[in-house]
Amino acid sequence: MKTRICGTGSLLPEQTVTNDDLSKIMDTSDEWIKTRTGIRARHLATKETLTGLAVEASKQAMDEAGILPEQIDMILAATLSADNIFPSLSCELQRELGAVNATAFDINAACSGFLFALHTADAYIKTGRYKTILVVGGEILSKMLDWNDRSTCVLFGDGAGAVIVKADEECGILGISQGSDGALGEALLCENRQINNPFASNPVELSYTKMNGQAVYKFAVRTVPKTIHEALKEAGLTVEDIQLFVLHQANIRIIESVAKRLKVPMDKFPTNLQDCGNISAGSVPILLDEINRKGMLHKGDKIVLAGFGGGLTWGAAVLSW
Ligand code: COA
C-alpha cells in the first residue's frame, strides 16, 4: 500500500513586500538580498491568520482530491508559528473544515516540518488505521522575526500549503529519509517563554529567530544531497529517474549547490523563493501546489521532495505522482 498525494492547495497573504520596500526601513538593499539569496520579495501577513490561510489551502486540496470534510481521518499540521500555543493549528483546522471524524495534531520540525508530517502520514497509512489524511505546512514567521536584525528578517515569508494523501495501490511514496541532530540546534533558534511563576520569575522578554547563517548554509549543502540519495536508494531509483526536485526554498545558492552535487541540471529544480522567501514548513507544499496547478506534474512522474532546517532536521521523500 502506498501513500499518494491526490490534491494540493496553497495561499499566501495579500501583502507583497519587495527588497526595495525593506531597504526603506532598514540598512539593506535589493542587490545584497538578491545576490546572497535569490529572494526578490515575500508575502507578509498583515490581517490574515495562519488558520485562515491553512483553511483555504486545505479546501483547494480537498476539492482536487474530491474529498468531503467527514472523510478525513487525520489532520497533521507542520508549523512552528500556529496562531495559538494550543489549541493546535490542526485542531483549529478540524473545527473550521468540519472534519468531525479526524484525529488532529501538530508537528514541529521547523523547515523540515512538512516532510516529517508527510512521513508520519505515510506511516499511519501503512498501518491501515487511516486512509485519508490532510497534511498541512504553514507559517506566519514574520511575527517571530527580529525586524532589527537584517541578517535574518529579510529571508523569510508567510503562507500555507496543504495536500490530501490517500492509500493507493499504484502510485505514491516510494522511499523516504529523515533525521535530526539536536547537538547543532543553536544554529537556528527561537526560545519560548521564560519560566514565570510565583516561585521563579524571569524578566518577560520575547525571543526572536536567531541564526548562524554560515553554519546553516554548510549543513544544508552537505545534508540535503545525502538525504535525497538515501530516499532514492530506498525507492530503488537514481537521480536520472527523477523528473523534478522540489526543495525547501531557503536560498537559491543552496539549491544550486545541491543540484551541482547531485549532478542534475537546475531546470529540474522549480523555485518560488524569488517571490516568497523562505516559508519554513510552508515552502515545499506551496511550491508543490504551484507546479501542480501549472500542469508540470503528470501521472507516474517520479519527484523528490526535500527539506532542512531548525532542530537541526532534514528529510526527503521520493514519490510517483
Ligand atoms: N543587508 C545588507 N547587509 C547585510 C544583511 C542585509 N540584509 N545581512 C547581513 N549583512 C551584512 C553583514 O552585517 C556582514 O557585514 P560585515 O562584513 O560588515 O560584518 C555582511 O553582510 C556579510 O554577512 P554574512 O553573514 O557573512 O553573509 P553571508 O554571505 O554568510 O550571507 C546568509 C548570509 C544568511 C544569506 C547566508 O549565510 C545564508 O543563506 N545562510 C543559510 C541561511 C538559511 O538558509 N537559513 C534557513 C534555513 S531553513
Average pLDDT over residues 101-122: 98
Tell the residue nearest (CA) to atom 9 of ligand 1.
Answer: 151
Per-residue pLDDT at 49: 98
Report the 10 Å Cβ neighbour count for 81: 22
Out of 36, 39, 111, 248, mutate this one to test ligand 1's pocket (max ligand atoms within 8 Å of CB): namely 36
Any idea which fold 174-320 has? Peroxisomal Thiolase; Chain A, domain 1 (3.40.47)
Q: Which residue has the higher pLDDT, 50 or 207?
A: 50
Per-residue pLDDT at 130: 96
Cis peptide before 287 (omega within 30 of 0): no
Tell the residue nearest (CA) to atom 46 of ligand 1.
Answer: 250
- Output the CA 236–ligand 1 centroid distance in Å: 38
How many H helices and E strands in the chain? 10, 15
Residue ranges of domains in the chain: 2-170, 174-320
Q: Which atom of ligand 1 is nearest to the CA of 28?
A: 1
Tell the residue nearest (CA) to atom 36 of ligand 1.
Answer: 213
Ligand 1 pocket member 210 (CB < 6 A): no
Same fold, 2-170 and 174-320: yes
Choose which CATH entry (3.40.1390.10, 3.40.47.10, 3.40.1160.10, 3.40.50.300) describes domain 2-170: 3.40.47.10
Nearest partner of 109 among 296, 264, 248, judged by Cα: 248
Q: What is the dihedral of CA 8, 13, 19, 23, to 10 degrees?
A: -160
Q: For residue range 274-319, what is the model confidence (pLDDT) as tens digits? A: 999 999 999 999 999 999 999 999 999 999 999 999 999 999 999 9
Q: For residue range 153-193, what is the model confidence (pLDDT) as tens digits? A: 999 999 999 999 999 999 999 999 999 999 999 999 999 98
Q: Which atom of ligand 1 is nearest to the CA of 214?
A: 37
pLDDT at residue 195 greater than cutoff 90: no
**Angstrom distances, CA of residue 1 to CA of 159, 163, 176:** 32, 18, 15
Kindly report the average pLDDT of the chain as a whole number: 96
What DSSP state is assigned to residue 99? -
What pTM did the predictor assign? 0.97
- Output the CA 220–ligand 1 centroid distance in Å: 15
| Three-state secondary structure call for residue 112 | helix
Per-residue pLDDT at 141: 97
CA–CA gap between residue 53 and residue 296 (Å, rounded): 24
How many percent of the chain have pLDDT more than 90?
95
pLDDT band at 198 (very low <50, low <70, confident <90, very high): confident
